[in-house]
């Protein structure tokens, strides 16, 4: 389970790091330049969220020189700017969806162009996102790369442990104060629509997406193992994929859940659900994870 969780956090690294123009030399060259400087452990990218926050925590456990820290902090800042279009598209999508949830009807035709806009923004960023992962590899020295991967595995394990028992659907159920009867009806509706974890039926992926065939953990472990090595070329480890398919699948999954659940909610519960979605869109600029642009 840990390696599968690793893939969820490692792959979005490309979303978090941009490739600045301070040089594209190999990792050894950059490490030699920095080796004469004292190295120290300190937090990295403290204002980050989601996968980048976990990555920053892991990098905070790695002794970094002042130059390395400066470069990495700049990478995070550049990424934040570069993904402005994607954040705006996520927010627009979430706001429109919130309004539909409040009235109790999902209009997929109205949402389609907004989903397409999100896909386009992420697809546009993909090449630089993937190059940036290689740039981080070049910034770190050999021992630092090993220390980073080890720290990342430890932090992911800690976060996943803390998340146990806090499934998003359970949190929504608590926030909306669903009755026991509503919970039963919703479980039945989701089981009939999706199977998988909702129904446990054989052959279902539970809507987990294009990587539900079990290779997600293998890809995550493969990326981490390759990152430790002196040579790291992302195309050799993880060929790029069509982000639009990932976004479309995850959007379809989310909308399918909404379509199954909305008829079972009261008007007040729908209003609260819409308000929660708007609040999240305002604070995070997103309705939730939509897939890594590094793929």
Give residue-wise pLDDT tens across range 140-155.
999 999 999 999 989 8
Residues 6+ apart with CB under 8 A from 165: none
Q: Distance between alpha carbon 209 and the CA centroid of its chain, in Å?
A: 14
3-state helix, strand, coil in the chain (%, to 5): 70, 0, 30
Lowest mean pLDDT among 33-42, 52-61, 252-261: 33-42
pLDDT beyond 70 at 22: no
Which tokens belong to 113? 């162009």
Residues of 155-171 as b/e, b for ≥16 C-beta within 10 angstroms? bbeeebeeeeeeeeeee
Res. 35 pLDDT band, cuts 50 70 90: low
- Asked if residues 216 and 4 have their Cβ atoms less than 8 Å apart, the reply is yes
Res. 211 pLDDT band, cuts 50 70 90: very low
pLDDT beyond 70 at 282: yes
Taking residues 62-74, report their average pLDDT.
93
Lowest mean pLDDT among 127-136, 230-239, 253-262: 127-136
pLDDT beyond 90 at 83: no
- pLDDT given at position 18: 29
Q: How far apart are CA 232 and CA 89, in angstroms?
A: 32
Helix 142-163 × helix 2-10 angle, to 10°: 110
Res. 207 pLDDT band, cuts 50 70 90: very low
Q: Distance between alpha carbon 6 and the CA centroid of its chain, in Å?
A: 11
- pLDDT given at position 78: 82
Closest CA to 207 of 216, 217, 196: 196
pLDDT beyond 70 at 290: no
- pLDDT given at position 194: 85
Q: Give the residues across from 177 on adjacent strands.
A: none
- Whole-Å CA distances, 199 to 70, 191, 193, 208, 240: 49, 4, 9, 14, 32
Give just the sign of the alpha carbon dihedral 25, 80, 118, 209: positive
Q: How many CB atoms lie within 10 A of CB 246?
A: 21
Residue with the two structure tokens 């992962």 = 133
- Mean pLDDT value across the chain: 78
Taking residues 168-176, report their average pLDDT.
83
pLDDT beyond 70 at 229: yes
- pLDDT given at position 240: 87
- pLDDT given at position 50: 65
Which tokens belong to 14? 């490309």
In terms of pLDDT, which residue wins out, 21 or 187? 187
Report pTM. Answer: 0.76
Which tokens belong to 35? 């080796």
In terms of pLDDT, which residue wins out, 83 or 11? 83
Portion of the chain with pLDDT greater than 90, in percent:
46
- pLDDT given at position 132: 85
- pLDDT given at position 26: 40
- Whole-Å CA distances, 12 to 7, 199, 282: 9, 29, 21
**8-12, 26-30, 62-66: range with highest mean pLDDT:** 62-66
Res. 137 pLDDT band, cuts 50 70 90: very high
């Amino acid at each position: 389970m840990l390696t599968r969780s690793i893939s969820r956090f490692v792959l979005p690294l490309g979303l978090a790091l941009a490739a600045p123009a301070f040089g594209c030399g190999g990792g050894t060259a950059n490490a030699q330049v920095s080796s004469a400087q004292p190295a120290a452990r300190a937090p990295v990218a403290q204002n980050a969220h989601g996968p980048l926050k976990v990555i920053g925590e892991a990098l905070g456990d790695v002794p970094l020189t002042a130059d390395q820290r400066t470069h990495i902090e700049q990478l995070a800042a550049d990424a934040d700017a570069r993904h402005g279009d994607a954040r705006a598209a996520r927010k627009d999508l979430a706001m429109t969806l919130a309004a539909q949830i409040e009235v109790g009807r999902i209009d997929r035709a109205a949402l389609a162009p907004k989903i397409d806009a999100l896909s386009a923004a992420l697809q546009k960023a993909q090449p630089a996102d993937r190059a940036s992962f290689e740039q981080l590899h070049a910034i770190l020295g050999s021992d630092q790369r090993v220390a980073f991967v080890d720290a990342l595995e430890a932090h992911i394990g800690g976060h996943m442990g803390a998340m146990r028992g806090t499934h998003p659907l359970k949190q929504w159920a608590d926030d909306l104060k669903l009755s026991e009867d509503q919970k039963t009806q919703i479980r039945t509706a989701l089981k009939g629509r999706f199977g998988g974890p909702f129904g446990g039926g054989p052959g279902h992926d539970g809507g987990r997406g294009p990587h539900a065939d079990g290779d997600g953990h293998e890809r995550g472990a493969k990326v981490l193992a390759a990152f430790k090595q002196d040579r790291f070329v992302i195309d050799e480890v993880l060929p790029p994929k069509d982000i639009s398919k990932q976004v479309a699948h995850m959007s379809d999954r989310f909308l399918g859940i909404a379509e199954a659940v909305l008829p079972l909610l009261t008007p007040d519960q729908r209003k609260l659900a819409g308000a929660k979605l708007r609040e999240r869109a305002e604070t995070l600029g997103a309705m939730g994870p939509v897939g890594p642009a590094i793929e």
